[in-house]
Structures are given as C-alpha cells and as structure tokens.
Amino acid sequence: MAESNSIEEMYCKLREKLYSMSKEDLEEEYEHITHEKFYGRWIEKLHNLTKEQRFTFIEKVNKKYSSDEYKTREINRGYEPRENLYDLICLYSKEYGENCPDSYYTEFVAMARIIDNAWLVRLYIGQGSFVTVDKIDNI
C-alpha cells in the first residue's frame, strides 16, 4: 500500500511539473530526453557488444530496412520508411568509428565513418538527409 502512495505522489508531482511548463520547454525537454538520454544509452549498449554481435545487429538492421515488406508497411501507415536504427548506427560511428579517406566523400556526403573495419556509414545531406550503412566488401 505504501508503494502505491509513493507512485501516486510521483505521478502528481510529474503532472504538476508538466502542467507548469510552457510548450517550448516541453519540446526542449522531449528533444533532450529522446536524443541525449535515449541515443546515448543505446550507443553505449552497442559499443559493449562484441564485434560479432555488432556485425549481426547491423546486418539485421540492413536486412529489415531494405526489405520491400518493411517499406510497403511504412508507406501504408502514411510514413516515409523510418530508419531510426540507422540514426543510432550513425551516431555510434561518429563516437566510435574511424575516419574515412577523402575519396569516400562526395558533394552530399557530410560524414563517412568505418565501424569495425566491416561497415561504411555515410550521412548524406542535400534537400533531405539520410544514412546509408554498407558492408565494406560490397563497395
């Protein structure tokens, strides 16, 4: 019973805090939570995997995002196919990846990094932006 009271108190305090914040403050807090805390935690989890586990993870992400089934499902839901895990891999490569030679850069490639000597991660920025993750032996 004491636990439910503390949960109720926490809920009331959280609700009170949220209602006291402006829309701009809420948006800033949301942005901070989603990017800093969420991605930071997952970047470290990805870093703590073995090379083989990281390779398998990235391979599965590529397989998922390149499948017609995934693309069709996302489009049917009214979205351009979302690729949040590519964003995670891109942030991981920025933190722990190796620099690429200049030959990997083009006019639209803003960042090119190598993960575990196996994956090339590139961030393209033009009218829009997107991330590609390719096996190095396929390039």
- Could you write out the DSSP letters of every residue in 82-125? P-HHHHHHHHHHHHHPEEPPGGG--SSEEEEEEETTTEEEEEEE
pLDDT for position 32: 59
pTM, full prediction: 0.72
Query: What is the per-residue pLDDT for 35?
Result: 64
Give me the pLDDT at residue 17, please: 76
* Structural tokens at position 109: 């490639």
For residue 95, the model assigns a pLDDT of 94
Integer-rounded Cα radius of gyration of the chain: 20
H-helix or E-strand spanning residue 76: helix 68-76
Point out the residues of the chain with pLDDT beneath 70: 1-5, 26, 29-37, 138-139
pLDDT of residue 77: 92
Is the CB of residue 87 less than 8 Å from the CB of residue 131?
A: yes
49 backbone dihedrals φ, ψ, rounded to 5°:
-75, 160
Instruction: Select from 102, 75, 97, 84 the least CA-distant residue to 39.
Output: 84
Q: How far apart are the first and last CA of the chain?
A: 61
